Amino acid sequence: MELIPPELLEAVGEILTVGAEKYVDRNWEHGMKWSRPFGALMRHMWAWWRGEDKDPETGRSHLWHAGCCIAFLIAYEARGDGEDDRWKGSPL
């Protein structure tokens, strides 16, 4: 655990706190379709990549939000929670 950058833990903790104020504490642990945090991850990463540093709604870094989305997806995969709605068909 000591190898994890403390900035990551602080950032994800901050976003979880913001989420708890907007929704309910630990609401994400009830599970959801995996496409929801994946979609949010992609929106935040593309906004950051286009040069927008902070999310306009929260004023926090898009990377902080992305870190939280990754944490959700890692937890869902490890726990078998939520709905794995990834497309598994042929690309053609």
Q: Let me know how long the chain is.
A: 92
Question: What's the chain's average pLDDT?
Answer: 96
Render pLDDT for 8-53 as a digit per residue (tens, 0 to 9).
999 999 999 999 999 889 999 999 999 999 999 999 999 999 999 9
Q: Is the pLDDT of residue 90 over 90?
A: no
The helix/strand/coil state of 33 is: strand
Give pLDDT, residue 47.
Answer: 99
pLDDT at 92 > cutoff 70: no
Predicted model pTM: 0.91
Of 75, 66, 65, the closest CA to residue 30 belongs to 75
Alpha carbon distance, N-terminus to C-terminus of the chain: 42
- Report yes or no: 65 and 15 within 8 Å, Cβ to Cβ: yes
- Domain residues of the chain, as ranges? 6-79
